[in-house]
């Protein structure tokens, strides 16, 4: 860690600790919340920083967990362990919403649950915190139209298509390219996975999944670049997908020739936007996913008004980051990343 980042960490940590001292003194009982991501990716380190801020703001304890193999079974085992310890609330990005919903409903009968990033909309969760993934997909579709205004061939790369965030992002892209009337929320109709799907002037040659395996992701990209040598554009829907696209395109001498669009704020992606190899990335706000999820749960547990709207969506809007916005975005991001990394090291020690 650089000296500059260490200074930033120390300043922010001191601020957080001072906030925490006040809130902790006011709290009658320390609330414990389990916060469960959908994988081990750097993206969730930003969310950890948000959880740390919530701990200090609200005098609570957040048990933060990143499933090392991005498996639903890992999420379930951790949640069961937390329930055994008497955890008061759960925030989760659901890996397998259909199959996990019965389990999550049993949990929801005991403690309040909120979801972020990837929803299980048929569950008994209290709220979904985050951006509309469908709306983010529409933004991605607009970016594709910007890069391929006259049409073209593209491939979608994603971890899984049984995760709700993947379903909604992909469908948002398809509906935007087809020119369907705009909706902020997912309409509930999924275009089946397949090859050579014509959408307006564009053709989705394939949607390739990797099960959350980063090495398999790169192999998928390499396969697509060989199979479709004249491919116009590739888009990665999960945070680690686009770094794999960049790496494979570089190996194939197609960096700068293949148009690329990303999701999330991986460092290699932001640098590639600055360098002109990636047009843009659609970003969430994982820091607020951590902080706001913890805040909403804390208020629910304390019997306070959590400000949940009727549609149960606590909106944290998506943003499109292009080359002119990268520097300001990275400055803010680096501070939050440093805080998250600092506390993850503390946990390991």
Task: Walk along the chain (349 residues) in steps of 10 and give the mean pLDDT of each run.
Answer: 48 49 53 96 88 94 95 97 98 95 98 95 95 94 98 97 93 97 90 94 97 94 98 96 98 97 94 97 93 97 96 92 94 77 60
* Residue linked to tokens 């020690």: 349
Residue 91 CA to residue 84 CA, distance in Å, equals: 16
The pLDDT of residue 253 is 97
Q: How many residues are recorded in the chain?
A: 349
Residue 49 CA to residue 337 CA, distance in Å, equals: 7
Work out the widest C-alpha separation in the chain, in whole angstroms. Answer: 64
CATH class of 3-130+285-317+326-348: alpha beta
Fold match, 3-130+285-317+326-348 / 133-283: yes
User: Residue 4 belongs to what H/E stretch?
Assistant: helix 3-26
Residue 107 CA to residue 97 CA, distance in Å, equals: 14
Residue 119 CA to residue 95 CA, distance in Å, equals: 9
Q: Residue 205 in contact with residue 157, Cβ under 8 Å?
A: no
Residue 172 CA to residue 272 CA, distance in Å, equals: 24
Q: Which of 186, 161, 162, 160 is nearest to 172 (CA)?
A: 186
3-state SS class at 130: strand
What are the residue ranges spanned by the domains of the chain? Answer: 3-130+285-317+326-348, 133-283
The pLDDT of residue 42 is 82
The pLDDT of residue 54 is 95
CATH class of 133-283: alpha beta
Residue 42 CA to residue 272 CA, distance in Å, equals: 17
Q: Residue 115 in contact with residue 139, Cβ under 8 Å?
A: no
């Amino acid at each position: 860690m650089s000296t500059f980042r260490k200074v930033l960490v120390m300043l922010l940590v001191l601020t957080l600790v001072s906030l925490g001292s006040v809130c902790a003194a006011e709290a009658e009982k320390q609330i414990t919340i389990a916060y469960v991501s959908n994988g081990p990716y750097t993206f969730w380190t930003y969310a950890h920083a948000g959880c740390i801020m919530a701990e200090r703001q609200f005098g609570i304890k957040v048990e933060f967990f990143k499933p090392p193999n991005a498996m639903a079974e890992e999420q379930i085992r951790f949640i069961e362990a937390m329930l055994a310890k008497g955890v008061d609330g759960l925030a989760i990005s659901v890996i397998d919403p259909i199959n996990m919903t019965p389990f999550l409903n049993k949990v929801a009968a005991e403690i309040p649950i909120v979801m972020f990033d990837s929803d299980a909309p048929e569950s008994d969760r209290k709220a979904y915190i985050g951006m509309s993934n469908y709306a983010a997909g529409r933004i991605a579709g607009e970016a594709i139209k910007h890069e391929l205004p006259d049409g073209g061939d593209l491939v979608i790369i994603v971890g899984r298509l049984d995760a709700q965030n993947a379903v909604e992002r992909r469908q948002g892209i398809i509906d935007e390219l087809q020119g369907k009337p705009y909706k902020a929320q997912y309409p509930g109709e999924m275009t089946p996975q397949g090859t050579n799907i014509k959408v307006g002037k564009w053709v989705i040659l394939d949607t390739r999944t990797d099960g959350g395996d980063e090495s398999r992701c790169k192999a998928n990209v390499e396969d697509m670049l060989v199979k479709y040598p004249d491919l116009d554009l590739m888009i990665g829907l999960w945070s680690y997908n686009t770094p794999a696209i960049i790496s494979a395109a570089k190996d194939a001498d197609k960096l700068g020739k293949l148009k690329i669009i990303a999701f999330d704020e991986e460092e290699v992606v932001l640098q590639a936007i600055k360098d002109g190899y990636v047009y843009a990335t659609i970003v969430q706000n994982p820091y607020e996913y951590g902080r706001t999820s913890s805040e909403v749960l804390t208020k629910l547990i304390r019997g306070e008004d959590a400000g949940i709207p009727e549609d149960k969506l606590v909106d944290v809007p998506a943003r499109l980051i292009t080359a002119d916005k990268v520097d300001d975005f990275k400055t803010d991001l680096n501070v939050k990343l440093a805080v998250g990394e600092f506390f993850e090291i503390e946990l390991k020690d």
